[in-house]
Amino acid sequence: MNDDGPRDRPLCLVTGATGYIGGRLVPELLRSGYRVRCLARSPGRLRDQPWAGEAEAVRGDVTDAASLDAALRGVDVAYYLVHALGTGPDFEETDRRAARTFGERARAAGVRRIVYLGGLTPAGVPEAELSPHLRSRAEVGRILLASGVPTTVLRAAVIIGSGSASFEMLRYLTERLPVMVTPRWVRTRIQPIAVRDVLRVLAGCAALPDDVNRAFDLGGPEILTYREMMTRYAAVAGLPRRLVLPVPVLSPGLSSHWVGLITPVPAGIARPLTESLRHEVVCRENDIARYVPDPPGGRIGFDRSVQLALQRVREAKVTTRWSNASVPGVPSDPLPTDPDWAGGSLYTDRRERAVDASPEALWRVIEGIGGENGWYSFPLAWSLRGRLDRAVGGVGLRRGRRDAQRLRAGDSLDFWRVEEIEQGHLLRLRAEMRLPGLAWLEMYAEREGDGRARYRQRALFHPHGLLGHAYWWSVAPFHAIVFGGMARNIARAATRTPAAPAGEPVRSP
């Protein structure tokens, strides 16, 4: 990582660059022409970011004054995007101490502006009655505003984007429960905002006049109840209409346990989020638009923001988060630092075998799969699956292959489609049979140190609604036979296959 570029360009420090907003803000600032320095306790976690070579990374902690002094040296705008949510019962004291230290050191370093993203607080509710999560966010904002450095505090409610804890909770609750017995907070009115709009405003705040030192409410164009958000999420995701039955006896504490049971969002995060939903969070003003104007089409609506989040995750899910490949530069894309529970469910069946043959011989077997060559395991099961697919209007196994030995991206292959092929290394197939979700099959030929091959295989399934989850678990008992047999027989076939193309196609045993 480096700090290359003209020194007259303003330098921005981004704390929390390994977090949801910070990791997505860095490329926004770079595109806007700023130099960027990232503060992280473990800078190594940033090396797989797509922007890693364009930003400087330094080791430090917002509670450590010495590391802050080094990180803030020469900084014009400092983004404070960290909080201690989920770290334990004393997170409010940790947040308080960190904000004071950061404000003091920013002032000593001559920082021109601090930008902080906090939480939208309800109107007319005494601070003592707020959830600890919202109360701490509000206190951090006050501390930074009083630091002596001109500060912008942006207060947002639910941020809609894959990876946002609030959005992930909404996603899992809606997708996994066609009938929901819910706490009464589903009636709470909320003003959600798309992550793209949040990032646009955050980046724009770097150019605010020096005399601006205040908080701004930040929300999208619509005000919805949590129940309406779940209903509209289901509609955008193509799920059947959800039946929501509020139950007044579920307290915030019980609600967090209920959320923890249904979703993979950690309890330390789910509890403060559910507690924050007791009160209405609606913007009281939109003054930030005077400084950072809305785009010509206005801010992104709820349905469109959900659509973008789902679209980008489905396109990038296999090739980025779970494969550690490069990540496209779109705010809603998954990032390497996103938590494992973000991005929706992805079920995986992995198989791996050492092969007593060359990688070239193994690749010839992989590229020859399907059609008349078969699928190297339990032919009857593949035949029955093809017949079932045709019975429900799918393509079945009737399409076969274009060529008995060679494949190219876009080829149909029985009820699969070749999504990606790296000659000699990777074949990725996307399922086109009728399924309650999205499915892929990946096959890799890799070279071991002794020149022999290693075969790796992954079957991946992204379920669609409760039916998708039920489908995966109903077929999971057969995976050892189908996928295990495939890996075993492909490895066996490779040992008796010449590496160079022959006149006859490879036949499955």
Q: Break the chain into its structural domains and give their ranges.
A: 11-316, 347-495
pLDDT given for residue 113 in this prediction = 98
Please give the DSSP secondary-structure letter assigned to residue 164.
-
Percentage of the chain beyond pLDDT 70 is 79
Model confidence at 459: pLDDT above 70? yes
CA 59 centroid distance within chain: 24
Q: Which of 260-264, 317-321, 406-410 has the highest mean pLDDT?
A: 406-410
Greatest mean pLDDT range, 4-18, 70-84, 382-396: 70-84
Could you give the C-alpha distances from 479 to 190, 281, 409, 472, 488, in angstroms and in order?
Answer: 43, 47, 26, 10, 13
Span 321-349, mean pLDDT? 52
Q: Would you place residue 191 in the very low, low, confident or very high pLDDT band (cuts 50, 70, 90)? A: very high
Can you give the pLDDT at residue 128?
77
**pLDDT value at 475 more than 70:** yes
Q: Tell me the average pLDDT across 444-450.
A: 90
pLDDT of residue 316: 43
pLDDT tens digits, one per residue of 127-157: 777 777 788 889 999 999 999 999 999 999 8
* C-alpha–C-alpha distance, residues 51 and 24, integer Å: 10
> What would the DSSP string read from start to end of 335-397?
-TTS-TTTTS--EEEEEEEEESS-HHHHHHHHHT-SGGG--SS-HHHHHHHHHHHHHTT--TT
Q: Could you tell me where the beta strands, DSSP code E, fall in 199-312?
A: 214-218, 224-225, 243-247
**Beta bridge partners of residue 203, listed in sequence order:** none
Which residue has 């998708």 as its token pair?
468
232, 168, 336, 43: CA torsion to nearest 10: 130
Q: Angle, nearest 10°, between helix axes 165-176 and 267-276?
A: 90
Residue 180 pLDDT: 66
pTM for the predicted model, two decimal places: 0.68
Task: Please report the pLDDT score of residue 323 as a whole number.
Answer: 30
The 10 Å Cβ neighbour count of residue 93 is 12
> From CA 158, how far away is CA 344, in angstroms rounded?
17
481 vs 222, which has greater pLDDT?
222
Min mean pLDDT across 402-406, 427-431, 433-437, 500-504 is at: 500-504
DSSP H helices, 430-499, are 465-475, 479-495
Most confidently predicted of 179-193, 274-288, 447-461:
447-461
H or E segment at 419?
strand 416-422
For residue 338, name the pLDDT band (cuts at 50, 70, 90).
low
Specify the fold of 11-316.
Answer: Rossmann fold (3.40.50)
- How would you write 98-158 as a 3-class SS string? HHHHHHHHHHHCCCCEEEEEEECCCCCCCHHHCCHHHHHHHHHHHHHHCCCCCEEEEEECC
What's residue 318's pLDDT? 42
Q: What are the Cα distances from residue 306, in Å, to 82, 303, 317, 438?
A: 25, 5, 16, 18
Residue range 287-298: mean pLDDT, rounded = 95
Summarised one tens digit per residue, pLDDT across range 273-283 is 666 677 788 99
Contacts of 253 (CB under 8 A, 6+ apart): 271
Residues in the chain, how many? 509
Are 300 and 220 contacting, i.e. CB atoms less than 8 angstroms apart?
yes
**Which of the pair, 445 or 243, is modelled with greater confidence?**
445
Does residue 507 have a pLDDT over 60? no
Contact 136, 99 (CB under 8 A): no
Residue 252 pLDDT: 53
Arithmetic mean of pLDDT over the chain? 82
Lowest model confidence (mean pLDDT) among 159-168, 289-298, 319-328, 456-465? 319-328
Q: Residue 173 in contact with residue 255, Cβ under 8 Å?
A: no
The pLDDT of residue 260 is 60
Helix (H) or strand (E) holding 176: helix 165-176
Q: Per-residue confidence at 373, pLDDT binned at 50, 70, 90?
A: confident
Q: Cα(422)–Cα(426) distance, rounded to whole angstroms?
A: 5
Distance, in Å, from the CA atom of 377 to the CA atom of 364, rounded to the nearest integer, reads: 17
CATH architecture of 347-495: 2-Layer Sandwich (3.30)
CB atoms within 10 A of CB 68: 25
